[in-house]
Structures are given as structure tokens and as C-alpha cells.
Amino acid sequence: MKDKEEEKIVQHLKQDWQHIDDLGKESLSQIDMEKQLVRFQQKKKKAFYRESALFLLTAIVILTVVMISLFEAPLFFLYFQVVASLIAPFAVYFTYKKVNKKGMFGHDKP
């Protein structure tokens, strides 16, 4: 009985080793890997430019709104600053509490 179990284990191991050997035979060629690397770099470059443009557009809009509100309605700007100063500590506290409870990436703690 023990011999049959050992024989099954050995047979299973041989099949796994053969599967691993077969995986190595289907490796990518150097040219395919270089093509994939170039495509990946192009995607990253596109994403970087897209994110940079979005950041600049957002910054311009925010600065325009701030400048207009500062020069056109200074009292509104002052109220806005006071309200933001009062709300910011609570937002930071609740965000900090949430991150510590869940972990930085959501899967750090069970």
C-alpha cells in the first residue's frame, strides 16, 4: 500500500516536471520580447503625456478660479479660506483613520 502511494507521488512529480519543461520550450524569442518592451514603453510614454496634460489643465482651472475669486470677490475668497481651514483638519483626521484601519493599500490588514 505504501509503495502504491509512493508510486503515485513519483508519477505526479514526473508529470509536473514534464509540464515545467514544456513551459520552458515555449519561451518568447528575443525579437518578440523587444517588441513587447517597445510597446510597453510607448504606452507608458502616452500615459505620462496624458496625465501631465490633465494635471496642467486642472492646475490652470484651479488657479484661474482662485485668481478670479480673489480679485472679483475678495470677501468670498476670504470666507472660502476660513471654511477650508476649518474643514481640512477633520478631512485629514478621517482619512488618516481610514487608512490606518484598512492599511495603505487595502489588503495590508485582514
Q: Each residue of 46-104: pLDDT tens digit?
A: 999 999 999 999 999 999 988 887 888 888 778 888 998 999 999 899 888 888 877 65
Give tens-digit pLDDT for 9-25. 888 888 888 888 777 66
Quote the percentage of the chain above a pLDDT of 70.
Answer: 87
* HSE (side-chain half, CA atoms, 13 Å) at 104: 0
Cell numbers for 93:
483626521
pLDDT of amino acid 38: 93
Break the chain into its structural domains and give their ranges. Answer: 1-70, 73-109
Q: Residue 99 and residue 87: Cα distance in Å, rounded?
A: 18
State if pTM tops 0.75: no
DSSP 27-46: PPPHHHHHHHHHHHHHHHHH
- Does residue 108 register a pLDDT over 70? no
